[in-house]
Structure 1
Amino acid sequence: MRDFDHHDINLRIVLLVVLIPCVLICMILSLKYLAPLSILANVFILVVVLSCVSFGIKNRIEYPDTETKPIKSFGGVMKFIGVCIFSMEGVGVTLPIENSMARPTLMPRVIIIGMTIVCSLVILSGFFGYWGFGENPAEPITNAFPKNWYTIALKIAMILMIWITFALNFWVPFNLVWVYLKKRHTKRLALWERIYRAIFIIVITSIAIAFPSVTALMGVIGAVCLSNMGFIYPAFIELMLDWETPGLGYLKWRLWKFAAISLFGLFIMFLSAYFNGRDLIRVAISK
């Protein structure tokens, strides 16, 4: 990792430094106080995506011979799918948000509108980022932008966005675990909750320091964990609910659908985990 003066910065040291602000923001116990910060993070995301489109077009015009390929190797496709599946982890925030809504019946409409916007932003940044900057752009994509005060502000906005979304994504799984942890304590629950929050964040940061390759780590988590949660488990639950009523259907098509989805999930899980895990280990050893 390099700063603007081209001095080498150890990524593991940076990760250790950001531990403190991550602990502080995760001390916010209520989701309603994180919601306004989420709106701010969404504004930052929109600005970064639009800037990616703009700089991508400008770079392509300036360097029309930038190398791009219609499809990469099979391993590259598997790594890409693992990272895409990782993006499904936001599904875990859906139910807590629905439970906090004044009108929960509007949640399906919210999901449709929200996912349309999210997919559009991802497609825009992915297409113009690759088309504009080529086969091996800097990571993250903001490092490929021209170096000026505007792009420095973009990086700061991106840092704040990741910082806020980390707290949002941490809130849901921790509260699921806290339901069982708080049974061990009868007094000073607020203090113990903050202690456990700090311990969890330290563990998460330790994993990030051990495996600093974010892309490969996202791919492994997406392949091993979220391929089950996103494909196999929902298909199995649906099959069990439909087993007697309305039944398996003509030629047991619901059973065949479950088998197809499960095989696809297993296929993604093993192959994507293999290719991303190989990169993860290589980067962890080399850095």
Structure 2
Amino acid sequence: MSQDTETIDLYNPFENRRLTHPTTNVDTLIHLIKGSLGSGILAMPLAFKNAGLWFGLGATFAIGVICTYCIHILVKCAHLLCHRERIPSLSFSDVAEIAFRTGPDKVKKYFRMARFSIDLFLVLDLMGCCSIYLVFVATNAKQVVDHYTQSDYNVRYYILLLLAPLICINLIRELKFLTPFSIIANILIGIGVGIIIYYTTRNIPPVSERPAIAPLYRMPMFFGTVIFALEVIGVVMSLENNMKTPQSFIGCPGVLSIGMSFVVLLYTSVGFLGYLKYGDETKSSITLNLPVEDFLAQAVKILISVAIFFSYSLQFYVPMEIIWRNTKHNFEEPRDAAEYAIRIGLVTLTVAIAAFLPNIGPFVTLIGAVCLSTLGLMFPAIIELVTYYEQPGYGSCYWVLWKNIVLILFGVVGFITGTYVSIVEFTQHLEEEI
């Protein structure tokens, strides 16, 4: 073994990280759960409506396992590339770039395209998620205000009212300092989900009253919604890169497996019970099905709205990080004013998108189909194929190759069908408004 190889083998990327405010395992677990427990959980009963009761149950568990496994693939490849290239940490786009640049000769020339594609889809995905969060908050706030004031203002006014407080909270630049907001959001979500389960288990009908499986044409809406709800890959590398002990992120048990197991179980429970309770009357957010006249039901809408509002900052962190990394060289020191201006501009953009597209159902499906099918399923599989092409290889009978081909095909089908269905729904909604 050469001296260079020995040096690389002895290199520990985790020991060479220099973090000003590293997060603990508990901090990271809190952020991971918060990154998953957003507005998507409220759409899970609608997902089951589009899948059928029993098919939705099994398919949600299956998609949860697949999403978690793809995250595991990405982080595993990142650790291998950090060790191989002697780099302390890598972002999602860094992983793609280095995997392609050091991969087979036929793909090396595409390393810049790989980085650009990841960054583009991450920004589109997480900015879209931020807009979806605003629609959920505004829709639930509107229902409560309408009930107590006998008013009927357009939901767009409520979305616009969120702009000023959002700007204030998103001027916080350090992930470590967002931990208190994630803790508050997790507590509020926990209380809210508990109350939702209380309502969905009262006078619950027999399971025989709900179809076990829905018509095939509705499955893309189910797929897009569940992928959107469960997929947290957009913030994973930022969470892992900020950890004090990043080796604890994957493993058995690791932060990833513990966090995602809890999330999948909770999402499945809410989806199953919500659809069983409300059936064909299930709305885009389960909170909208709760009785308007009950104070407790109104309280849960406010609790979850506040929780999702606080979740916005975590989703916003990654696209802001990407955009600032690629634009800061255009500004002279000190750059604080420029960074704050970009933050304010991006927050304003997400509010404008939410106000223009307040029909949440197709929006959720579109983001899940277009961005998360690529980021959460296809890209991790492609990155593993490129990273492992030589060492440690594809395993016996090339099982790594065949497994990743299946993941890519699964992502492609979800991308095409989900995009088509959501665009049709958007078109119909716009025609109705006109």
Normalised by the size of structure 1, how large is the TM-score? 0.91
Task: Provide the C-alpha distance between the structure 1 equivalents of 2:271 and 2:332, rounded to a whole number of angstroms.
Answer: 50
- 1:124 corresponds in structure 2 to 269
Mapped contact 1:52–1:128 kept (Cα < 8 A)? no
- 2:240 corresponds in structure 1 to 98
Change (3 A) 1:249 1:104: closer
- 1:54 corresponds in structure 2 to 198
Task: Provide the C-alpha distance between the structure 1 equivalents of 2:315 and 2:231, rounded to a whole number of angstroms.
Answer: 8
Mapped contact 1:248–1:255 kept (Cα < 8 A)? yes
Deviation digits for residues 204-255 of structure 1 (CA, Å, limit 9, x no counterpart): 1222122111221121111111111111111111111222224344444433
1:168 maps to which of 314, 332, 335: 314
1:234 maps to which of 368, 380, 384: 380
> What letter matches 1:4 in structure 2?
H
- 1:44 corresponds in structure 2 to 188
Give the gaps of 5 or more residues in structure 2: 1-138
* Mapping 1:201-216, distance limit 5 Å: 201-216=347-362
Mean alpha-carbon deviation: is it higher for 248-257 or for 185-194?
Answer: 248-257
Tell me, what secondary structure is at the counterpart of 1:155?
A: helix
Deviation digits for residues 77-121 of structure 1 (CA, Å, limit 9, x no counterpart): 111101111234422222222222222222221111111111111
- 1:136 corresponds in structure 2 to 281
Give the gaps of 5 or more residues in structure 1: none
> What letter matches 2:388 in structure 1?
D
- 1:27 corresponds in structure 2 to 171
Tell me, what secondary structure is at the counterpart of 2:249?
A: helix
Change (3 A) 1:20 1:230: same
Instruction: State whether structure 2 residue 136 is matched by structure 1 residue 4.
Output: no
Instruction: State whether structure 2 residue 260 is matched by structure 1 residue 115.
Output: yes
- 1:79 corresponds in structure 2 to 221
Change (3 A) 1:119 1:22: same
* Mapping 1:190-229, distance limit 5 Å: 190-229=336-375
Give the paired residue count.
Answer: 285
- 2:66 corresponds in structure 1 to none
Mean alpha-carbon deviation: is it higher for 188-197 or for 5-14?
Answer: 5-14
- 1:69 corresponds in structure 2 to 211
Change (3 A) 1:86 1:233: same
Mapped contact 1:223–1:272 kept (Cα < 8 A)? yes
Tell me, what secondary structure is at the counterpart of 1:4?
A: helix
Change (3 A) 1:258 1:65: closer
Normalised by the size of structure 2, how large is the TM-score? 0.62
Deviation digits for residues 54-97 of structure 1 (CA, Å, limit 9, x no counterpart): 11111426xx6995222222232111101111234422222222
- 1:245 corresponds in structure 2 to 391
Task: Provide the C-alpha distance between the structure 1 equivalents of 2:407 and 2:315, rounded to a whole number of angstroms.
Answer: 27
Instruction: State whether structure 2 residue 424 is matched by structure 1 residue 278.
Output: yes
2:294 maps to which of 121, 140, 148: 148
Change (3 A) 1:244 1:106: closer
Instruction: State whether structure 2 residue 401 is matched by structure 1 residue 258.
Output: no
Task: Provide the C-alpha distance between the structure 1 equivalents of 2:315 and 2:392, rounded to a whole number of angstroms.
Answer: 36
Deviation digits for residues 35-55 of structure 1 (CA, Å, limit 9, x no counterpart): 111011111111122212111
Mean alpha-carbon deviation: is it higher for 165-174 or for 277-286?
Answer: 277-286
* Mapping 1:173-188, distance limit 5 Å: 173-188=319-334
Mean alpha-carbon deviation: is it higher for 249-258 or for 137-146?
Answer: 249-258
Mapped contact 1:44–1:161 kept (Cα < 8 A)? yes
> What letter matches 1:194 in structure 2?
Y
